[in-house]
């Protein structure tokens, strides 16, 4: 049983797409992509970890997945879900117990922190986050910040993950795959991952799979401001979050905001230091590493250095116009574009639109992720 547990923002959506879209040829090659991973993992992580011992064996969606893996008569099964990287020792013990009679391997993907840090903030901006990029970075660099209060610090605890699973399975059953650096072909990550699964990467014939859209800097910043305003007005969290995800996805599809968050010298040094610590952990742990240490640069690339400033007002107003146009597609609430004399007015107009869409039950037209109208999926 191969368990790919993340970390987040390390190519997990791409790898999951490769597994899902190629499930049939992989199964013919002896590798079973267990179905129902979303409900199963949601079932596993629901409730208190302390109550896991009280569950009936084989119960719930997680129990069904475990049974499916055991029933497969091929070479191996695989499950990929990044939420598993956020679980502690009690759920790790539950997983160990459920797969005790299978040869269990854990796979962890790691990526250059210079790319993960902004990607994690962009995701937070879609998911009700109100910290702007400069605030998010400052909090990440603050040594007093508790990991559980910061999405990057929580999701990228590679040392904790490696030690927890190595101590349970032994180093030969823990595999760390480095994400190839910028400019590498997209398929390179799949080839490395497939080598861990001991399957020919060319078995996967469908390679044009979806990945999570990247939210541009202005749109992500705008969403942080809208979340803060929505919270002040008391708008419901769940519906607002789904609408923010829709706005972000629409902006990415249009390509009208493709600028990346800036990285100043202090942040570049921070991410380089983070990479250095990951490499130190991997060397000391003696786990199986697939890839190249050069994928995790330990020297800051000062050519990327830019002042840690918010996007300018012109970009933010354009982002607000695009957001309003996207929301108009979900419910009739006004014009699809706006002309405002300040960013504050633009944020207010978008928040008004969010409230109108919620009142019109517009979020019901979104899929489970809140990224597209149901009729278009």
pLDDT at 376: 45
Cα–Cα dist 70/64, whole Å: 10
207 pLDDT higher than 80: yes
pLDDT for residue 371 is more than 70: no
> What's the pLDDT at 369?
64
Q: Which residue has the tokens 């979806």?
A: 210
CATH of 2-113+153-203, one of 3.10.20, 3.30.70, 2.60.40, 3.40.50: 3.40.50
Q: What is the CA radius of gyration of the chain?
A: 22
Q: At what angle do helices 133-141 and 265-285 cross, to 10 degrees?
A: 50
Give me the pLDDT at residue 377, please.
35
- Which tokens go with 300? 């800051």
Q: pLDDT value at position 179?
A: 98
> What pLDDT was estimated at residue 158?
97
The dihedral sign for the CA sequence 63, 64, 67, 69: negative
The SS3 of residue 174 is: strand
**Number of neighbours of residue 332 by Cβ within 10 angstroms:** 9
Task: Examine the pLDDT at 317 and tell me if it is beyond 60.
Answer: yes
pLDDT at 294 over 50: yes
In this predicted structure, the answer to whether residue 334 has a pLDDT above a threshold of 60 is no
Q: What is d(CA 332, CA 326) in angstroms, rounded to the nearest whole number?
A: 11
Lowest mean pLDDT among 5-14, 184-193, 223-232, 364-373: 364-373
pLDDT at residue 258 is higher than 90: no
Give the H/E segment covering residue 32.
strand 31-33
Numbered ranges of CATH 3.40.50 in the chain: 2-113+153-203
Mean pLDDT rounded to a whole number for the chain: 92
pTM of the model: 0.92
Pick from 24-28, 45-49, 60-64: least confident: 45-49
Structure confidence at residue 186 as a pLDDT band (50, 70, 90): confident
Q: What b-and-e string marks burial along 253-291, b requiring 16 or more CB atoms within 10 Å of the CB?
A: eeebbeeebbbbeebbebbbebbeebbebbeebebbbeb
In 3D space, the residue among 81, 80, 76, 95 whose CA is nearest the CA of residue 32 turns out to be 76
Nearest 5°: phi and psi at 256? -90, 5
């Amino acid at each position: 049983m191969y368990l790919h547990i993340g970390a987040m923002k390390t190519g997990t959506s791409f790898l999951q797409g490769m597994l899902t879209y190629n499930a049939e040829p992989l199964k013919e090659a002896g590798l079973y992509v267990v179905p129902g991973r979303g409900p199963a993992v949601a079932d596993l992580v629901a409730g208190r970890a302390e109550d896991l011992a009280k569950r009936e064996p084989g119960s719930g969606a997680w129990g069904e997945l475990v049974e499916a893996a055991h029933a497969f008569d091929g070479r191996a099964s695989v499950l990929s879900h990044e939420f598993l990287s956020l679980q502690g020792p009690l759920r790790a013990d539950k997983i160990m117990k459920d797969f005790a009679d299978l040869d269990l391997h854990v796979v962890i993907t790691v990526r250059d922190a210079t790319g993960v840090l902004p990607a994690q903030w962009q995701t937070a901006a879609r998911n009700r986050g109100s910290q702007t990029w400069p605030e998010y970075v400052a909090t990440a660099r603050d040594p007093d910040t508790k990991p559980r209060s910061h999405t990057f610090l929580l999701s990228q605890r590679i040392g904790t993950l490696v030690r927890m699973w190595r101590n349970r399975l032994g180093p030969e059953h823990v595999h760390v795959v480095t994400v190839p650096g910028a400019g590498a072909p997209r398929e390179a990550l799949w080839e490395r991952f497939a080598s861990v699964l001991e399957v020919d990467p060319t078995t996967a014939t469908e390679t044009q799979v979806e990945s999570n859209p990247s939210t541009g800097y202005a749109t992500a910043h705008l969403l942080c401001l809208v979340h803060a305003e929505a919270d002040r007005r008391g708008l419901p969290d769940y519906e607002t979050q789904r609408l923010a995800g829709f706005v972000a996805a629409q902006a990415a599809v249009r390509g009208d905001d493709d600028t990346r968050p800036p990285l100043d010298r202090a942040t570049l040094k921070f991410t380089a230091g983070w990479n250095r610590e990951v490499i130190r952990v991997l060397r000391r742990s003696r786990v199986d590493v697939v890839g190249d240490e050069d994928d995790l640069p330990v020297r800051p690339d000062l050519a990327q250095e830019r002042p840690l400033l918010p996007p300018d007002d012109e970009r933010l107003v354009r982002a607000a116009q695009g957001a309003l146009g996207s929301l108009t597609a979900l419910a009739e609430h006004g014009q699809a574009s706006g002309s405002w004399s300040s960013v504050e007015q633009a944020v207010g107009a978008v928040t008004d639109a969010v409230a109108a869409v919620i009142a019109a039950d517009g979020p019901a037209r979104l899929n489970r992720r809140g990224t597209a109208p149901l009729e278009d999926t």
